[in-house]
Structure 1
Amino acid sequence: MGPFGKAARAALMLAPLVAPLTALAQPAAAPQPGQWHPSRYGAGDQIGAMNLLNPQKVLEAARLVQRGQVYRLGVPVGRETPAFPPRSAAVTVMMPDQFEGATVPSENRMSYADDMFTGWLGVGSQIDSFAHLGIDNVFYNGNHARDFMRTTGVTRLGIEGIPPMVTRGVLVDMTRARNKPMLEEGEIITADDLRAAMRDQGVEVRQGDVVLIHTGWVELLERDPARFGKGEPGIDNGAAEFLAGLGIVAVGADTWGVEAVPFQNPNRIWEGHQTLLAKNGVHILEVMDTRALARDGAREFLFVLGQPLLRGAVQAIINPIAIR
């Protein structure tokens, strides 16, 4: 894990039905201002904006594939990957009962290796479930931590309940918008910034889309991982509200937290996560490697994600794919 500044660490530590959908969801009326549950998709809903995905949306996205060009959006994860403290991840490889060159008893002298993962699921490229972050111990759709949060795994809102995410993806290139190769730590992206970048780059966001924001920050993973983990450019809460209002199913960025860190107001932390996850049921995708998409000037693409079905998990390491 890369080092974090003491001030940043102190601030950060404060945070903390897989089935095809056959018809376009018709959400109920939105809650009254200031009231964010029950969800517009129903009091028992667990999948939030993913209700907006349907076969027609998949077919629309599939028609974007014209070149057969595939982009890996995940990054390799290992022992040195910087992560939100105190997270870390490690793979340990073993050859059980095969000491000093021994093989498994057999005429064909079979050898094999196994591996063990030890770590947190919120390292590297990841998806946040609605059980990851809430408001005063209340999570998406009014689910209180005392009712579903268990050390053995959540009983609602877990990673295994997220439907496959096959939809149209769009890229908003903020490096192009600001005419520089990389935004700086703490640099804020507002709703107006997103609107202007989308307009200038010809990016149209539609209901059910996944929006990825390119800031250039992911480049630091390889050349300066310590700096990568100390802060990041990103959206503010107003931008989170704007994106949720567009009817998207997920928002991601090439940063580890999507929001700008250090926080503009140190007394209001991860407010964008609260707006997206808890209030609107919009998933968050972190550490997306958007470099190749930005380099190729991609504006829209087929986005595909089938996350690990880890029962009761609140996050998962992922490797989404973009196809053009």
Structure 2
Amino acid sequence: MTRLLIAAAGAALCLAALPPAAQEEGSGPLGLPNKAGASVLMTELNAIEAANIIRRGRVIPLGREYRPEMPLGPGQDYALSRTTSRGDTSTRVETTLSAPLTAGTYLEGLGHTGTGGEDPRFFNGFTPDEVAPEDGPGAAGVEHLKPIFTRGILIDMVTVNGGPMDAGQEITVADIEKALDWFGVNEPGNGDAVVFHTGWGRHWIADNDTYLSGAPGIGLEVAEWLIEREVALVATDAWTVGVQPVKEGPERDFPVSLALTQKHGILLHDNVESERLIDAEISEFAYIFAPVPIRGATGSPGAPLAVY
């Protein structure tokens, strides 16, 4: 069995060296008539590599608890209602949740952020009408995404920074390289998931106005670095992966999301409770998440898992 796993890992490295188009047939930014984005980079061999990281069998949920007090954007509401049905032999309670899919810990789908202007476009050139048609499921719904089971690595910016980061503070490539060297972790590669811990989660519920006012995060320098390494997913403990406010352009523009997702199909996971990785003192793990296959949805709620 050990020989098989070693051989498989070697094959994974060979496969990762190929361009994505060589791994999947077809046409499109990632070698497909692509509705699945960078989730196609997570192959069976990525799953084997991730499984080989698991040594202690410990599972850490990284999703924040959904509750009325959590930060919500302008115009967003959260409501959980209950209906009780009583019979002669049993009682059933049904719950109905009314909340945006971008509340709590959520995965940004390929139809969430696109370019502006007179001819707005989303990943793979999809138009807003194709992403969210009035009479159909849409071309970039999360139901097209592949399940996530891949190597995850933590970039602990609190340690590198000497304390929690502030809104508008940008993570650099030098910061990432310092964190990787500090914790002895290899840099991310084809199909990996990268989780940034900035300490911004300290404001979650404790100070929602501050939490939503801005965020530390990456800029275009790191975005290009991640694109070159063909990662599949980027996660953060803030409400956005990209630093806010941005240093150039409109205050709440999203150049990092456009670079990662709109151009390259890289998935983004926001509001992740990365503090639990710090508490567990781990920097490398299997990152697992199955998007809820809501047909036509541009995002997915749910709790990613870190297993080590």
TM-score (norm 1): 0.82
Task: Work out which of the residue numbers 175, 189, 203 in structure 1 matches 2:171.
Answer: 189
**Aligned match of 1:208:** 191
Name the CA distance, whole Å, in 1 between partners of 2:111 and 2:30. 18
Matched, 1:47 2:31: no
Name the CA distance, whole Å, in 1 between partners of 2:30 and 2:269. 22
Tell me, yes or no, if the aligned pair for 1:41 and 1:48 is still in contact at 8 Å.
no
Name the CA distance, whole Å, in 2 between partners of 1:46 and 1:172. 29
Between 228-237 and 208-217, the greater mean CA deviation after superposition: 228-237
Task: Work out which of the residue numbers 284, 289, 292 in structure 1 matches 2:268.
Answer: 284
Deviations 1:89-143 (A, max 9, x none): 22111215xxxxxx32x2x3x2221111112110010001111111232111111
Q: CA deviation at 1:193?
A: 2.3
Task: Work out which of the residue numbers 294, 309, 323 in structure 1 matches 2:293.
Answer: 309
Name the CA distance, whole Å, in 1 between partners of 2:212 and 2:250. 20
Runs (5+) with no aligned partner, structure 1: 1-22, 30-36, 97-102
Tell me, yes or no, if the aligned pair for 2:200 and 2:211 is still in contact at 8 Å.
yes
Name the CA distance, whole Å, in 1 between partners of 2:45 and 2:200. 34
**Aligned match of 2:227:** 244
Name the CA distance, whole Å, in 1 between partners of 2:278 and 2:268. 20
Q: 1:26 to 1:244 in 2, by over 3 A?
A: closer
Percent of matched pairs sharing the same residue: 26
In structure 1, give the amino acid aligned to 2:29. Answer: S
Q: 1:153 to 1:170 in 2, by over 3 A?
A: farther
**Aligned match of 1:61:** 50
Deviations 1:200-223 (A, max 9, x none): 332221211100000111122142
Name the CA distance, whole Å, in 1 between partners of 2:29 and 2:131. 17
In structure 2, give the amino acid aligned to 1:282. Answer: I
Name the CA distance, whole Å, in 1 between partners of 2:78 and 2:173. 34
In structure 2, give the amino acid aligned to 1:27. Answer: P
Task: Work out which of the residue numbers 63, 80, 94 in structure 2 matches 1:114.
Answer: 94
In structure 2, give the amino acid aligned to 1:203. Answer: V
**Aligned match of 1:4:** none
Tell me, yes or no, if the aligned pair for 2:30 and 2:38 is still in contact at 8 Å.
no
Paired residues, number = 285
3-state SS in 2 of match to 1:223: coil
Q: CA deviation at 1:246?
A: 1.1
Q: 1:151 to 1:286 in 2, by over 3 A?
A: farther
Name the CA distance, whole Å, in 2 between partners of 1:236 and 1:206. 19
**Aligned match of 1:133:** 113
In structure 2, give the amino acid aligned to 1:219. Answer: R
Tell me, yes or no, if the aligned pair for 2:157 and 2:179 is still in contact at 8 Å.
yes
In structure 1, give the amino acid aligned to 2:95. Answer: D
3-state SS in 1 of match to 2:20: coil
**Aligned match of 2:214:** 231
Tell me, yes or no, if the aligned pair for 1:191 and 1:238 is still in contact at 8 Å.
yes
**Aligned match of 1:99:** none
RMSD, matched Cα:
2.1
Name the CA distance, whole Å, in 2 between partners of 1:293 and 1:213. 11
Runs (5+) with no aligned partner, structure 2: 1-11
In structure 2, give the amino acid aligned to 1:194. Answer: I
Q: After the TM superposition, which parts of structure 1 deviate over 6 Å for at least 4 consecutive aligned residues?
A: none
Q: CA deviation at 1:50?
A: 1.8
Matched, 1:172 2:155: yes
Q: 1:28 to 1:66 in 2, by over 3 A?
A: closer
**Aligned match of 1:100:** none
Deviations 1:47-93 (A, max 9, x none): 22222222111111101111111111000112221123222322111
Deviations 1:174-212 (A, max 9, x none): 0010111x1111111123322332233322212111000
In structure 1, give the amino acid aligned to 2:171. Answer: I
Q: 1:198 to 1:154 in 2, by over 3 A?
A: farther
Matched, 1:260 2:259: no
In structure 2, give the amino acid aligned to 1:287. Answer: N
Name the CA distance, whole Å, in 2 between partners of 1:153 and 1:74. 30
